Structure 1
Amino acid sequence: MWFKVADQGEHFGAMVPRYYNVISLRGKPGRGGQFKAAAGGDLARDYARLLALPHRFDRFDLQQLRKRVIVGRVGTVLTGARQEVLAPASQYSVVRELVRIG
């Protein structure tokens, strides 16, 4: 999912991603595709914190998050998948956690 920085400042309007792992894809991948998330995964935790857990973990209604102001924590990725230090030009920001609906 992608979020836009709403705080006034140097990064106002920047787009920042929040990545989630899923258990399985159901049907075609991409926009409008279906998936099943882990009960203890980051998506379930963030969703429960912001809204309420669905009865099934393949029934997340992510459209409920559109057009809402969501407070989150942003961090900078400093190392790669193999724990090698990234050059400053290769570092990037991601949403680490969704905290609440603002």
Structure 2
Amino acid sequence: AAEGWTATSDRDIVPFIEGYASYGIRRVISTEISVDGTLEGPAVSLYRRILDILPELWLVASGGVGSISDIATLDAAGVPAVIVGKAIYEGRISLSDISRINLSSC
């Protein structure tokens, strides 16, 4: 989706990212909009699929993160970064919680 999620495409995300990666893009923020704002867990399988095909990508996962365990799950899946804005805003994750976790990618 694009343009504030008002325009959609039937194009798969992996070839889309691969197209940009061929021009040297190595950092991508990917928001799974079906879970964005739900705080019910991230789309781990999507991010694994992206990283299986593009392991050199610095992927920032966004959408659905609602707990420290979600961050740990993404870390275990090899996702190097995550956006946790709403979880912090809603008090589900604190900055002190984040400072106490030990992530392998740090």
TM above 0.5: no
Q: In proportion to residue count, which structure has more strand?
A: 1
Bin for the TM-score computed over the shorter chain: under 0.3
